Amino acid sequence: MATKEFKCKVCGYVHKGDKAPDSCPVCQAPASEFEEIKPAKKGLNTNSNAYTIIYAAVMVIIVAFLLVFVSQVLKDRQDANVKNDTRKQILSALNITDVQDVAATYAEYIKGDFLMAENGKPSEQVDEADFKTSDKYKQELAAGRRHIFVAEVNGERKFIIPMNGLGLWGPIWGYIALNEDRNTIYGTYFSHSGETPGLGGEIATQYFQDRFIGKNVVKDETVALTVTKFGKAADEQFEVDGITAATMTSNGVNAMIKTVLAEYMPFLTKACCKGHEGGCEGGDCCEAEQTECDGDHAECDGDHANCDKHNK
């Protein structure tokens, strides 16, 4: 049985046999003009659909692996950048902008992140390792963890409260800084994830945020601070004009302020100093590093009116 094939290089005739013929039966070329046809090696057909699918799958796996690897390598740096961005936002609420060294500036002004106790007193200090980014305070509030950042600016104490809410197209968030009276606004910061540029997105602009400065937050133990339709703010003490043609986003900011600050009412109204409950009684209102009230509360003027000087 013939196992080989020989091809004439002159005319292309193919001869099957154990060896080339003495001469080509077609063109009479001698045996030297024949060459053996070697069987093609079997392999993957690069023109087949199977090859295309396998190649694409392998490339996807390789790229995915590289992306995961790069993500893991850069994770610590990315997390640090997000946290620094949050620190910048908190500083912006204190009207501190154009910061070069965020970490150093934050440490200079922010004296601590505290959790509000049931009586309104900022008590438990949050470890820096547990510092939360802006998107986490909604979950923190839902879990009953009400954060209050205590700052000192030009020798005066300020309190910053984080807020999260919902705009027209997605999440909105911000920080509101209060003077030591816990009622007068020192500064604000607002931002968003997808509000319309030139409309709802304007809540992130300085000219909108500056409208809140000097306004009061609480009246008769209720959150009276209100964002109205543009041009409708009538009460200069409590009302702020919203964004022109961005009623839904303005309403979202208003709802965020009222919902979140209502959770802080014991702090805003200094509940820890009222009726002695968790306040001056027994010196409980005094911070650990400060002088405790005397047994007769002399430092609180008897009626505890000055108790706030011992409170954060």
CATH architecture for segment(s) 4-36: Single Sheet (2.20)
Best-predicted range by mean pLDDT (76-80, 133-137, 278-282): 133-137
DSSP 8-state class, residue 4: E
Does 35 score more than 70 pLDDT?
yes
CA distance 229 to 207: 16
Residue with tokens 């209050």: 148
- The 3-state DSSP class for residue 164 equals strand
- Residue spans per domain, the chain: 4-36, 92-261, 270-312
pLDDT for 175:
98
Mean pLDDT of the chain: 87
Tell the burial category of 204 from Cβ atoms under 10 Å away from its Cβ (0-12, 13-18, 19+). middle
Q: What confidence score (pLDDT) does residue 51 get?
A: 85
Q: How confident is the model over 88-92, as a mean pLDDT?
A: 97
d(C-alpha 274, C-alpha 262), whole Å: 18
Confidence check: pLDDT of 57 > 60:
yes
* Both structure tokens of 4: 């080989």
Q: Is the pLDDT of residue 295 over 60?
A: no
Q: Tell me: the pLDDT tens digits for 209-226?
A: 999 999 999 999 999 999
Q: Give this prediction's pTM.
A: 0.71
